[in-house]
Amino acid sequence: MKVYFDTLGCAKNFGDSEMAMGMLEQHGHEVVTDPTEADAIVVNTCGFIDDAKKESISEIFDMARFREAGKKLIVSGCMVQRYAAELFEEIPEADGFLGVNDYEKLPGLLDELEETGERFRSVGEYDPEAFEAEEENRKLPDNPYTAYLRIAEGCDNRCAYCIIPHIRGNYRSRSKESILREANRLAQAGTKELILIAQDTSYYGKDIEGRPMLAGLLKELCRIDGIEWIRIMYAYEDNITDELIRTMAEEPKICHYIDIPLQHASDRVLRDMNRHSSRASIDETIRKLRTAMPDITIRTTLIVGFPGETEEDFAELQQFVAQQRFERLGAFTYSREEGTPAAERTDQIPEAVKEERLDALMVEQMQISLEHNQALIGKKLEVMVDRLDEDGESYVGRTRMDAPEIDNSVIFSAVRDHEPGDIVTVEILDAFDYDLEGREV
């Protein structure tokens, strides 16, 4: 059977899809890149916040149009893990539903579907053996010059607004041996940039050894030939240790970049969110990072409009952003997720107020971002090529300061032809709110 994957949501979802594709090919199925060529279409959904669920539902019905041509439609991922029974009843257009722990069953379920035509629903429990074997099953793209490396699954944090622990379970670190095997395989396939992901990367190893072990893992990843950049995403502040900061500063392959989802700066709101950080601990961690690596790029995400957030709380958040001047910052309005403690609160903030606060915060951040970029004019930066620009004459790439898809880009003219993954030196000639322009040196 020919199968097409339509993946929504975060990098962890894309990792699930790559693993499922690999297992399908191992069982004789064929993965295609065009839905019109497929016998079956898998929509891998996101169920994190309300907007993501709406997008997933829209995409399911968009792909359902192919059923008229006799194609099968499978819905998988976080939304299925959370709402399998309801989706099975309410979306008869789909032939099957698959949870986040059941991808290894997909080849057999497709065979059975083709034979019997009977709809299925499979939402099982976490299988540690399947997780450890992930690197053996993953299907890599033709040129995996940048690749996500999942080091853990699930989450032990119980943030009051978040449903992820209910979907993906408690925190489970992958064994170091499994991670290193996958990293070596990626390097041999041509990967130059490893992007470490988990629900909370800085927590890695704490469920095994009782203390964070990310620094030790990073040191071993740095020894792998072929890997040139290593990037850390989703590192919670309360487990960013002095050892981790020292390792980042000492190891040249580790980008001076870290993504820290802080969510807020008011101690009262942080307590209500059931976060383990305080304004004082956040300020101190950022101070340590900037002292050890003056050139570090810190990315964060913030939530505005959490239940009970007062004007004073939001003013403190604005003051915090103005003080810390984050190089990269994303923000979103609080989403009321059923099944979470925050959803039960009676002091919900009106949508209009949430949107107003979001706009105010992002206008301020846009100016900060522009000033950071303008300070780079005239500098020569190391840039990884991502693609040829639409004009066919320029290239689009990223610096060590930027993760793919979510951060800034560098558009530059080149003196020679390049392929994605090439690392070149670019002189910055102009700067905008979120992008840079330059020329290859």
Residue 106's CATH number? 3.40.50.12160
| Same domain flag for 86 and 174 | no
92 secondary structure, DSSP code: T
Domain-terminating residue out of 122, 155, 182:
122
- 162 in a known ligand binding site: yes
Return the pLDDT at 428: 98
Q: Is 150 helix (H, G, I), strand (E, B) or coil?
A: strand
- 177 contacts 167 by C-beta, under 8 angstroms: no
| Same domain flag for 313 and 271 | yes
Q: How many CB atoms lie within 10 A of CB 164?
A: 21
CA distance linking residue 359 with residue 43, whole number of Å: 32
**What is the mean predicted confidence (pLDDT) over 280-304?**
98
**What is the mean predicted confidence (pLDDT) over 38-63?**
87
For residue 78 the two structure tokens come to: 């976080």
Number of separate domains in the chain: 3
For the chain, what is the mean pLDDT? 93
263 secondary structure, DSSP code: B
For residue 162 the two structure tokens come to: 């978040």
C-alpha pair distances (Å), 361 with each of 33, 260, 326: 39, 18, 12
Domain-terminating residue out of 335, 357, 374:
374
Q: Where are the beta strands (DSSP E) in 265-368?
A: 297-304, 328-333
Q: How far apart are the first and last CA of the chain?
A: 49
**What is the mean predicted confidence (pLDDT) over 15-21?**
89
For residue 363 the two structure tokens come to: 């206008």
C-alpha pair distances (Å), 93 with each of 39, 40, 60, 62, 102: 15, 13, 9, 11, 21
| Same domain flag for 110 and 155 | no
Domain-terminating residue out of 326, 359, 374:
374
| Same domain flag for 73 and 213 | no
| Same domain flag for 48 and 71 | yes
Least reliable range by pLDDT among 64-68, 137-141, 190-194: 137-141
Its sign, for the CA torsion 305, 308, 311, 312, is: negative
Between 257 and 157, the more confident residue is 257
Return the pLDDT at 125: 72
Return the pLDDT at 135: 62
CA distance linking residue 3 with residue 14, whole number of Å: 15
- 42 contacts 24 by C-beta, under 8 angstroms: no
| Same domain flag for 296 and 158 | yes
Rg value, the chain, Cα: 22
- 255 in a known ligand binding site: no
- Count Cα atoms within 13 angstroms, Cβ side, for 315: 3
| Same domain flag for 370 and 384 | no
Chain segment 186-212, per-residue pLDDT in tens: 999 999 999 999 999 999 999 999 999
Chain segment 396-438, per-residue pLDDT in tens: 999 999 999 999 999 999 999 999 999 999 999 999 999 999 9
| Same domain flag for 41 and 179 | no
For residue 121 the two structure tokens come to: 């629903």
**What is the mean predicted confidence (pLDDT) over 118-130?**
77
Is the model's pLDDT at 46 over the cut of 90? no
Residue 356's CATH number? 3.80.30.20
Q: Which domain covers residue 45, as residue numbers?
A: 2-122
| Residues paired with residue 4 on neighbouring β-strands, in sequence order | 32, 41
CA distance linking residue 55 with residue 180, whole number of Å: 35
Is the model's pLDDT at 389 over the cut of 80? yes
Chain segment 235-257, per-residue pLDDT in tens: 999 999 999 999 999 999 999 99
Band of residue 183 on the pLDDT scale cut at 50, 70, 90? very high
| Same domain flag for 171 and 82 | no
Chain segment 310-325, per-residue pLDDT in tens: 999 999 999 999 999 9
Closest of 431, 317, 426, 303 to residue 367, by C-alpha:
431
Return the pLDDT at 168: 84
Q: H or E stretch including 76?
A: strand 72-77
Pairing mode, strands 380-388 and 435-440 = unpaired
Between 125 and 308, the more confident residue is 308
Least reliable range by pLDDT among 123-132, 194-203, 281-290, 334-343: 123-132
Band of residue 392 on the pLDDT scale cut at 50, 70, 90? confident
pTM here is 0.90
C-alpha pair distances (Å), 158 with each of 165, 210, 291: 7, 18, 31
- 46 in a known ligand binding site: yes
| Same domain flag for 66 and 163 | no
Question: Of all residues in the chain, what percent carry a pLDDT higher than 70?
Answer: 97
Q: Is 66 helix (H, G, I), strand (E, B) or coil?
A: helix
Q: Where are the beta strands (DSSP E) in 262-373?
A: 297-304, 328-333
- 222 in a known ligand binding site: no
Return the pLDDT at 285: 98
Return the pLDDT at 129: 61
Residue 413's CATH number? 2.40.50.140
Question: Of all residues in the chain, what percent carry a pLDDT higher than 90?
Answer: 76
Q: H or E stretch including 428?
A: strand 423-431
Return the pLDDT at 139: 84
Band of residue 98 on the pLDDT scale cut at 50, 70, 90? very high
| Same domain flag for 116 and 259 | no
- Count Cα atoms within 13 angstroms, Cβ side, for 95: 25
CA distance linking residue 394 with residue 310, whole number of Å: 47
| Same domain flag for 77 and 199 | no
Stated length of the chain: 441
